[in-house]
Chain A
Amino acid sequence: MAQKKTHRPSADDPEVERIPLQAVLLADSFAQKFRPITLERPKVLLPLVNAPMIDYTLAWLESVGVDEVFVFCCAHSQQVKSYLENSQWTKQPGVFSVATIESHDAISAGDALRVIHEHGVIRGDFILISGDTVSNMSLAKALYEHKERRKKDPHAVMTMIIKQSKPSVLTHQTRLGDDEIVMAIDPETKELLYYEDKVDLSQRLILLDKMLLVENGAISLHNDKQDCYVDICSLGVLDLFVDNFDYQHLRRHFVKGLLVDDIMGCKIFTHEIQSSYAARVDNFKSYDTISKDIVQRWTYPFVPDVRYLGNGLQIKLDREGIYKAPDVVQSRSAHIDAFTVLGNATTVGDNTKISNSVIGQGCIIGHNVVIEGSFVWDNVTIEDGCKLSHALICDGVHLREGVILEPGVIISFKVEVGQNIVVPTYSKVSLLPQPSKQDSDEELEYADSNTGAIESTSMATVMNTSKLDFALGTSDANISGKPEFQGSGPGYIWSSSEGGTEEECRQSIAPIPAGKLLELLQSKISDNNAPDQDMIITPASGELLPDSESTFGDGDDDREYVDFEKEVEATFQRGLTGVEKENVILEINSLRLSCNMEQADCAGALFHSIMKQALVAPYSCKNELYANTIKEIIKWGDLLKHYLTTTDEEFEVILKFEDICSGTTRDFAPLFSNILTFLYDKEILSEKAILSWAQEKEGADESDKIFTKQAEQFIKWLREAPEEDDEDDADA
């Protein structure tokens, strides 16, 4: 019997058994959108419809057949670790294993991936996901496609999962509160060609690189796609992050970097999921939206009444999407409306109305309370007559009689709000003070906190009259200890941390106020007076660009190349004085990017520098020069090889060499054939490159043929060379 059981999973999906599928789960969003809540608890442990977000992600990973999950924790890593240790995920039998990787100095997803690379635990393709993702898609097809592509083209490093989701016409943002994303995708191969998440809406214009149109037969541009932030990556992605140590953000730096700079020819592909669900909790708006999606069962089977996650209590689903945990005490006159979740052991008093809300465990809700569209976490006490609309209330909060929370209010852990207080729209209340500086923009921050202080003093006066809790600026007050002061406790009203009110209302839990919508509508109508022009401009700009630039492109290129060559030489010289080889590579890489050069250009320039170096040492006859050259080539061969990944680049080196011999330093001319042979022996140049060079030159003028003639014998030998050489060449 026991054996039978253990065999079963392997029979189900033998694919998974052969290569363990790994996943990297980033249990830190490296953003501050959920402050002040995240000061006290990591984002992945915040409850989403009464189950921690990370449970949704882990449950999904488990259901798609992932064998090993590496949870990367940074902020509040201890909390994440202890949660995982006590959860079902580490206890349950079977192949699914969850391990944590901890680092305290990572400040971005890029850092996290570099740390993971150091650990060396990833052995093959892996799923990169953030711990706040909710999904129910099946990954089999995407994985299969990814693997097939990898077989054909090792440069296909990543498959990005996208999903159709129409952005709102009015606000130009997705239903998750992100800005709308514009993507260009090759309709045939599904290769991602362009990715822009910060579209300038005022211009109603996007700029495409002309090369996109030159290089691709067809492009489809989308603005109705939602990025699910689920990626299937190959091992190469980690290497890319290590090589490009300035990559921080997964999309802004990595994806755009690959697309714009064409690093090592790496390509990103997309996989669009059709009916299944995937979304990431990025801000308060998406928290609200995804919660509602879960309640509406789009994430089935990850819904409250299927006991996939959470504390294992049987939650019953009544009509109209009302979920009730077993020990709910509900007054007969209480009115529970559609799409509401009531957590375990929650009490609801007389004549209380709750609609579209999620109430956590052990909450006590008094009489005549109105709660709509709000999220109330565990052990919250709401006294009689409170009104909550579109608010988020964390664990242990106490709202005294008659408190009114206006839309978009966030109340962090254990705050106590006194009688009849009205908490204004979009305010965030926490027991912890707002950190004075978060970013480099100190000045801005300072101004912000000033306005906050003014706002809150006015609040404080209101509160004093009704003996209230927001004692402002009492930084030495007992912060974490006892919020249940006799009537008043310390608290801080946070000023809005980023953006103006624009950003606030876009990303808040509350719906966008009607007035704001009207404004947007009007601006849209006024825009519409000249929309036709805009419409034409958008596609036209793409077509026009190529002509306008290419006309003066050539002359420009030459000058740029000379500059570039000089820079490379300078870098190379620094290499001579003892700078590490890796750093030289890095510097040349960055030079290449900044000058917009090809890999082949680097190879050529580097080769030029090496040859120059050979001339530095004194020589009297050509034999000495040959010896010098060989010494230098041996010394720098590795560096050069780094850039010689394809025949194109090698070809470029030969041409460069020819240039040097015929032009700047004629001393090399008689040695051309010898050095060429040597380069071939050292596997720096491949047979293929040399032959294609010879072929190219066959049709050229006599004057151009000097060197081919000189190398004639060598080329002849190559042509007749036995096949076995091919194996060596393959490595080069």
Chain B
Amino acid sequence: MPDIQALVNDFILKLKRRKIEGSQATARQTAELLRAVVSHQRLPYTNQALALLDAVRDIGEQLIAANPVELAVGNIVRRVLHIIREEDLTSVASAVDGLGLSTNSDDDDNFEHDDHPILSAAAVAAAARSTLRAPSLQTLLEGLPESALAPRPSSSGGDSEGKSKSAERKKLKHDVIEAINELIQDIETCHEQISEQAVGLIHQNEVILTLGRSKTVKEFLFAANEKKRSFRVFIAEGAPRYQGHVLAKELVAKGLQTTVITDSAVFAMISRVNMVIVGAHAIMANGGVIAPVGINMVALAAQRHAVPFVVVAGAHKLCPLYPHNPEVLLNDLQCPSDLLDFGEFSDCMDFSTSGGSPLLHVVNPAFDFIPSKLVSLFVTDTGGHSPSYMYRLIADYYSSDDFVVERRIKS
């Protein structure tokens, strides 16, 4: 375990210092770390799922706290928790018969060894119930006192039973790791998956507007261009970082007709635009979007002129939390020197002559929140969805027990 702990600490430090750029890289590295955690986790004979969940949740909590702005970390932690639950369910379902037998044998053992036969009987009854009622993992997680279940492995009866259990244990872990691998695969290929839909959305001779630079948007436009669609792109430069300039360079290199405009010219140009395509930082459970600053203005302009507003984002950006959740840190205020040159304005910030309180305040927020009613379409790796469909995607990817990762640990 020490090497895992070192890995975790290393990753936490990187998150804390914001050394990992971009949601995709963060998501992939989080998933890889959690895979390592799962594969190194020593599992008890029983309640393997619970042990795994606890381990992942424990580390997940630290990761989320390390950089609360990057919601992708929390998303991946929750995805992995969901994977463990799912895999456990299927393995339980397939082993119902075997378990039914084993509970009988356990009954005997418990009566022989346990000091509190009544409690243990109740526990076993509960366990039996839970095995029969396949989907109710919840009872297993919430209700059962550990002491009641702990004696079981120590008193395991026959050899055959032990073998089958260890095989089963390995199987769960194996399945979970397989599923995480798939998740990593999904994250890595999300751009291609999204780009495949480009041809269906971008039509001949259309004018597309975007703001700033998003890798997903870039790949999306490239894909449409490769399919011989001819279209034009307006790029709002995306102050104060001016990533739009970078995107313009990349698009021109691929032979796309590109026009760069200032952020403030968006409203003037929007009437000539057929579609707005932007990237996102995160998609919230209600279909609202957290996106780089300036995009809300674009969305409002698009709504005013009835231009479709499309958000492209990988599934790892789908966050099961609501934006009004106090744990969601909606914004990140960045360095004011992106906006102003400190030297030029240093005389405005001389506190010795200005009465001690700063008169000049520079605010440089990183994100905007775009309410779901402004979004026409989400394009994720699984296809196009309307904002009202987000709840369904979230139900597919996440288990509702995991929405709050931190609370459970504290209580």
Measured between beta carbons, the chain A residues less than 8 angstroms from B352 are 168, 171, 173, 175, 177, 285, 289, 506, 511-512
Measured between beta carbons, the chain A residues less than 8 angstroms from B349 are 175, 289, 292-293, 296
What are 27 A-B contacts with C-beta separation under 8 Å? A1-B7, A1-B32, A93-B6, A163-B343, A164-B343, A164-B344, A165-B342, A168-B353, A170-B353, A175-B349, A175-B350, A175-B351, A275-B338, A276-B342, A285-B352, A292-B351, A292-B358, A296-B349, A297-B333, A297-B334, A300-B334, A307-B66, A339-B357, A372-B356, A373-B356, A373-B357, A511-B354
Measured between beta carbons, the chain A residues less than 8 angstroms from B215 are none
How far apart are the CA atoms of A308 and B356 in the complex, in Å?
28
Q: Are B336 and A2 neighbours in the complex by a CB distance under 8 Å?
A: no
**A295 to chain B: closest residue by CB:** B358
Q: Is A90's CB within 8 Å of the partner chain B?
A: no
How far apart are the CA atoms of A452 and B5 in the complex, in Å?
57
Nearest CB in chain B: distance from A430 CB, A:
24
Q: How many chain A residues touch the partner (CB < 8 A)?
A: 56
Q: Are B356 and A511 neighbours in the complex by a CB distance under 8 Å?
A: yes
Further pairs besides A175-B350, A338-B361: 17, Cβ < 8 Å: A63-B17, A93-B9, A164-B341, A164-B346, A166-B343, A166-B347, A168-B350, A275-B342, A296-B362, A297-B334, A299-B335, A306-B17, A307-B16, A314-B68, A355-B357, A356-B356, A512-B352
Nearest CB in chain B: distance from A94 CB, A:
7
Q: Are A517 and B342 neighbours in the complex by a CB distance under 8 Å?
A: no
Measured between beta carbons, the chain B residues less than 8 angstroms from A517 are 353
Q: Are B335 and A136 neighbours in the complex by a CB distance under 8 Å?
A: yes
Q: Are A339 and B358 neighbours in the complex by a CB distance under 8 Å?
A: yes
Q: How many chain B residues touch the partner (CB < 8 A)?
A: 42
**Most chain-A CB neighbours within 10 Å: which of B32, B35, B329, B343?**
B343
B 24-70 contacts with A by CB, 8 A = 32, 35-36, 65-68
A 282-318 contacts with B by CB, 8 A = 285, 288-289, 292-293, 296-301, 306-308, 314, 316-317
**A275 to chain B: closest residue by CB:** B337
Q: Is B305's CB within 8 Å of the partner chain A?
A: no
* Residue from B10, B17, B32 within 8 A of A301 (CB atoms): B17
Measured between beta carbons, the chain A residues less than 8 angstroms from B134 are none
Nearest CB in chain B: distance from A681 CB, A:
59
Q: Is A526's CB within 8 Å of the partner chain B?
A: no
Q: Are B353 and A171 neighbours in the complex by a CB distance under 8 Å?
A: yes
Measured between beta carbons, the chain A residues less than 8 angstroms from B338 are 275
Q: Are A511 and B351 neighbours in the complex by a CB distance under 8 Å?
A: yes
* Residue from A288, A307, A317, A510 within 8 A of B333 (CB atoms): A317
Q: Is A623's CB within 8 Å of the partner chain B?
A: no
Q: Are B9 and A321 neighbours in the complex by a CB distance under 8 Å?
A: no
Measured between beta carbons, the chain A residues less than 8 angstroms from B358 are 292, 296, 339, 356
Q: Are B343 and A277 neighbours in the complex by a CB distance under 8 Å?
A: no
How far apart are the CA atoms of A288 and B358 in the complex, in Å?
11
Measured between beta carbons, the chain A residues less than 8 angstroms from B346 are 164-166, 175, 226
**A509 to chain B: closest residue by CB:** B356
Nearest CB in chain A: distance from B352 CB, A:
5
A 387-415 contacts with B by CB, 8 A = 390
Q: Is A577's CB within 8 Å of the partner chain B?
A: no
> Sorted from nearest, which 7 A-B pairs have the closest CB atoms?
A164-B343, A300-B335, A511-B356, A275-B337, A165-B346, A166-B347, A175-B350
Q: Are A274 and B333 neighbours in the complex by a CB distance under 8 Å?
A: no
**A1 to chain B: closest residue by CB:** B36
**Most chain-A CB neighbours within 10 Å: which of B16, B329, B338?**
B16
**A225 to chain B: closest residue by CB:** B343
Measured between beta carbons, the chain A residues less than 8 angstroms from B66 are 307
Measured between beta carbons, the chain A residues less than 8 angstroms from B7 are 1-2, 5
How far apart are the CA atoms of A73 and B337 in the complex, in Å?
33
Nearest CB in chain A: distance from B340 CB, A:
8
Measured between beta carbons, the chain B residues less than 8 angstroms from A285 are 352
Q: Are A2 and B342 neighbours in the complex by a CB distance under 8 Å?
A: no
Q: Is B3's CB within 8 Å of the partner chain A?
A: yes
How far apart are the CA atoms of A512 and B351 in the complex, in Å?
9
How far apart are the CA atoms of A623 and B313 in the complex, in Å?
95
Q: Is A501's CB within 8 Å of the partner chain B?
A: no
How far apart are the CA atoms of A373 and B357 in the complex, in Å?
7
Q: Is B304's CB within 8 Å of the partner chain A?
A: no
Nearest CB in chain A: distance from B406 CB, A:
11
Q: Is B246's CB within 8 Å of the partner chain A?
A: no
**A169 to chain B: closest residue by CB:** B347
Measured between beta carbons, the chain B residues less than 8 angstroms from A82 are none
Measured between beta carbons, the chain B residues less than 8 angstroms from A202 are none
B 237-277 contacts with A by CB, 8 A = none
Q: Are B6 and A510 neighbours in the complex by a CB distance under 8 Å?
A: no
Measured between beta carbons, the chain B residues less than 8 angstroms from A296 are 336, 349, 358, 361-362
Q: Are A314 and B6 neighbours in the complex by a CB distance under 8 Å?
A: no
Measured between beta carbons, the chain B residues less than 8 angstroms from A297 are 333-336, 364
B148-184 vs A, Cβ < 8 Å mask (1 yes, 0 no)? 0000000000000000000000000000000000000
**B347 to chain A: closest residue by CB:** A166
Q: Is B13's CB within 8 Å of the partner chain A?
A: yes
Measured between beta carbons, the chain A residues less than 8 angstroms from B36 are 1
Q: Is A620's CB within 8 Å of the partner chain B?
A: no
Q: Is B355's CB within 8 Å of the partner chain A?
A: yes
**A274 to chain B: closest residue by CB:** B341
B 322-336 contacts with A by CB, 8 A = 329, 333-336
